[in-house]
Amino acid sequence: MLGRKSARLAAAGVAMALALSACGGSDGDSGNAGGSGSGGTLTLGSIVAPPSLAAAESSWANGSPYVQAVYDSLLRQAPDGSVEPWLATEWSYDDARTVLTMTLRDDVTFTDGTPFTADVAAQNVLRFRDGTSAQASKLANVADATAVDDTTLQITLTAPDPGLLTYLAQAGGAQASPASFDAAEAATAPVGSGPYVLDADRTVIGSTYVFTKNPEYWAPDEQHYDELVINVFTTAQTQVNAIQGGQVDATNLIDNQSGPQIEGAGYTIQTVELNWAGLILFDRAGQLNPALGDVRVRQAIAHAIDRDALLEGAAGGLGTVTGQVFREGSDAYDPELDDRYDYDPDAARDLLAEAGYPDGFTLEMPFFDIGLDPAFDLTAQYLSDVGITVEYTTIALADAFTQVLGGSFPATLFYLSEDSTTWQTAQVSIAQGSTFNVFHQPDETVAGLLSTIQTGSEDEAAAAATELNEYVVEQAWFVPYYRAQLGFASGPDTDVVLQSDNAYPLLQNITPAA
């Protein structure tokens, strides 16, 4: 069970890691719950152990509670994703939006006694940019960070970056004590200014992380607990067991199909949909598989799939059937596009015949365990119904990204995140340079629309976004099946407000029940 379940975990990890690029958002100012109840131990469940606890190597998404426990970030996010003051109390851009000036608090010290200053903040920003966090590239536009004075930080950009403030509210803005920068044990002995301090003695790296309250914390109202424990669950079964045994207060779920058991134990499950599951037809020009170069073949594939059955069969119905890769509510989203390709095997066969494949063809795809087993089986089933023979090559999950992103296959089944803006989504999977446009195929229409989105007025951009979505759906580069639900369970003693753009709720929004 462990491999498969840990694969499931890894799958969820993939999903949520992907989800982490979903960020940014409007400048709303809705406050967070910020309750002042306090005391006791909060035991959280997590499905990943962080690769490092050092600020410059930390990541967000599922890794966020580890970062938030120890570190303060320059800014903070509200549950809807909007940015709020935190260590930086005020900030402003210049007109060109390439120089960000931030005013920092002067009453913050790290837990080793070192005071927090603008100079320290500048070092942290640059270290993150140059470090090996999975998100290091988020700060790639940062040209330099300097301290104007002790409380004024100036960040200069090579180009405007609408996501920067969000990144600075996440791992990219995490502030570590300079004394810990080059410590030998930096990865396992974090020193920040945050609400909690790692209890190294009781922590088992990789499995259980124990934090105790930082007695000198500058914002004691935000410390809701005396102690914070994060347990890593590697299998769905242990997770459900721990929930049924009342051993966790709140946790995200590896497999939310155990909902009835979890709710039966008195827990509440809240869900968000941050990813879609479905086929990515990388080989848009037919380099590996000529058939995929024909749009009719791709459309035939889209018609061959019974999405409703797949949602039921592969996800137990927990999700929403979709036909587009853009997030609901984004300017590109168009509910009508979800029905562009209905389940119609006859139409699929006709399209194949039209394209010159009346007897179908063979499609090579990777098979890896990301918790979508039934979807793999069912996909092969539906495609074979219309004459397409799927040949799966089993690859180890550990090497799946490398192989899939390395262009070894013309198509794959995958989880992909739905980022909050059209621009970001396009940068992940549509634009020529994007990671999931594996063969980096150019497309003039796409390039033109993206340019409008980047530089045009708000209205122009929105129109271009919608047009882009229509074009992408028509091209059938993706065959999305459904948006998968991510579940988060919390016990009766714990209140949780989910984060709209993150797989894990932010720490300040997990509070003792009123």
Partner 1 sequence: MTTTAAPTDLPAVRTLERTARVSLVRRVLRSPVGAVSLVFLLLVVLAAVFAPLLAPQDPDFASARDVLAPPGGDHLLGTDGSGRDILSRLLYASRLSLSGAATAVGVAAAIGITAGLLAGYYGRWSESVASSVSSVFMALPAIVVLLAARTVLGPSPYTTMIVLGVLVSPAFYRVVSAAVAGVRQELYVDAARVSGLSDGRIIARHILTVVRAPAIILAAGMAGIAITLQAGLDFLGLGDPQRPSWGGMLSDAFAAIYREPLTLLWPSLAIGLTCIALVLLGSAVRDALERSGRPRRRRRRDAAPPAASLAESVVVHDEPTGARAEELLHVRDLAVGYDQPDGSTTEVVHGVELSVHRGEIHGLIGESGSGKTQTAFAVMRLLAAGGRIVRGSIEFEGADLATLSEKEMTRLRGRRIAYVPQEPMSNLDPVFTVGHQLTEPMRVALGLSRTAARTRALDLLARVGIPDPQRTFAAYPHQISGGMAQRVLIAGAVSCGPDLLIADEPTTALDVTVQAEVLDLLRDLQRESSMGVLLVTHNFGVVADLCDRVSVMRAGRIVETGPTRAVFATPRHEYTRSLFDAVLEDTAPRGPLVPTTQGAQA
Partner 2 sequence: MLWFVLRRLAAGVVLIVAIAVLAFFLLYATGGDVGRRILGPTASADTVAQKNTQLGLDKPALSQFADWASGAVRGDFGRSWFTGQSVSDAVTGRLAVTLSLVIGATVLTAVVAVVLGVLAARRGGWVDTAVQFLSVLGFAVPGFLVAILLVLVFAINLDLVDPTGYTRFADSPSGWLSSILLPVIALSIASIVGVAQQVRGSMLDTLRLDYVRTLRSRGLSERRVVYGHVLRNAAGPALSILGVQFVGLLGGAVLVEQIFAIPGIGQTAVSATVGGDVPLVLGVVIATAVLVVLLNLAVDLLQGWLNPKVRRA
Binding site for partner 2 (CB under 8 A): 1-3, 6, 13-14, 17-18, 20-21, 49-54, 57, 59, 132-137, 140, 185-188, 202, 204-208, 231, 233-235, 237-238, 241-242, 244-245, 247, 397-399, 401-402, 405, 435
206 lines the binding site for partner 1 (CB under 8 A): no
Of 309 and 462, the one with the shorter C-beta distance to partner 1 is: 309
- Show Cβ contacts of residue 159 under 8 Å, excluding neighbours closer than 6 positions: 98, 141
Render 416-484 in DSSP notation, one character per residue.
EE--SSHHHHHHHHTSTT-TTSTT----HHHHHHHHHHHHS-HHHHHHHHHHHHHHHHHHTSEEEEEEE
The runs of H, that is alpha helices, within 204-258 are 236-244
377 binds, among partner 2, partner 1, none (CB under 5 to 8 A by kind): partner 1
Nearer to partner 1, 116 or 233 (CB): 233
d(CA 273, CA 270): 10
- Residue 385 found at the interface with partner 1 (CB under 8 A): no
Q: Fill in the per-residue mask, 149 to 168: x = in contact with partner 1 (CB under 8 A), - = not in contact.
A: --------------------
Both tokens of residue 27? 């400048």
| 41, 225 contact by CB (below 8 A) | yes
Question: Site mask, partner 1, residues 284-313, x = CB under 8 A?
Answer: ----------------------x--xx-xx
Nearer to partner 2, 47 or 108 (CB): 47
Calpha distance 82→317 (Å, rounded): 31
- DSSP bridge partners of 12: none
- 465: amino acid identity, one letter: A
| Minimum distance, C-beta of residue 137 to partner 2, in the bound complex (Å) | 4
Interaction of residue 345 with partner 1, rule CB under 8 A: no
Contacted entry of partner 2, partner 1, none for residue 245, CB cut-off 5 to 8 Å set by kind: partner 2
User: What does 50 bind: partner 2, partner 1, none (CB cut-off 5 to 8 Å by kind)?
Assistant: partner 2
Among 396, 405, 447, 513, binds partner 1 (CB under 8 A): 396
324/482 Cα distance (integer angstroms): 9
Calpha distance 223→213 (Å, rounded): 7
Identified binder of partner 1 from the candidate list 151, 152, 156, 381, rule CB under 8 A: 381
Residue 54 binds which of partner 2, partner 1, none (CB < 5-8 A, kind-dependent)? partner 2
- For residue 405, give the 3-state DSSP assignment: helix
DSSP for 78-106, please give it. Answer: -TTS-EEESSEEEEEE-TTS-EEEEEE-S
Beta-carbon contacts of residue 479 (< 8 Å; ≥ 6 apart): 278, 279, 281, 298, 301, 302, 305, 341
For partner 1, the binding residue among 144, 344, 350, 373 (CB under 8 A) is: 373
Residue 143 in tokens? 């040209």
At residue 481, the 3 state secondary structure works out as strand
Judged by DSSP in three states, 142 sits in strand
4 is a site residue for partner 1 (CB under 8 A) = yes
* 30 binds partner 1, rule: CB under 8 A: no
Name the residues that contact partner 1, by CB under 8 A.
Answer: 1-7, 236-237, 240, 255, 257-258, 260-261, 306, 309-310, 312-314, 316, 367, 369, 373-374, 377-378, 380-382, 392, 394, 396, 398
